[in-house]
Amino acid sequence: MSSYFNDANDSPGFLLWQVTTIWQKRIREALEPFDLTHPQFVLLYSCYWLHQEAKRDDVTQVQLAQHTKVDVNVTSQVLRALQKRGLINRRPHPTDTRANLITVTREGILLAMRADSAVEEADRTFFSVLDNADRHEMVRFMLELLSH
């Protein structure tokens, strides 16, 4: 059996997987003091962000899943865990019987903000090996990949 690539370091997918694995480990470590998994943090903070920054009062589970690129079923499971901890509320949508509206509780907002500081610090540290121009270029490449 042969590979398209002569060397593992020629494979963008394999390199992305390796970088992602290391980065996720650093994020897990940053979130450990908050007793949050990475998916829990992403969904909690994204819901908060959609309400605050995007001025959305009617965030549904599906919209949250689309915003974060997290599978809808995984989103539902993670939100259930966050709800049990009192970090979010889910209530039926007033006009769409298939949808739930998600809001972050006061406790959830405070935890999301504290955890976000730790995650941003972990990101700064992890990506500090790149200069600003390289970080901007990397972001541009990732946005291009997301658009396909």
- The one-letter amino acid code at 14 reads F
Domains and CATH numbers, the chain: 8-146 (1.10.10.10)
Give the number of other CB atoms < 10 A from CB of residue 100.
Answer: 18
Closest to 108 measured CA to CA, from 128, 129, 83: 83
Closest to 56 measured CA to CA, from 104, 107, 91, 96: 104
**pTM for the whole thing?**
0.90
pLDDT tens digits for 4-36?
877 777 789 999 999 999 999 999 999 999 999
Place of tokens 């610090």: 121
pLDDT tens digits for 110-138?
999 999 999 999 999 999 999 999 999 99
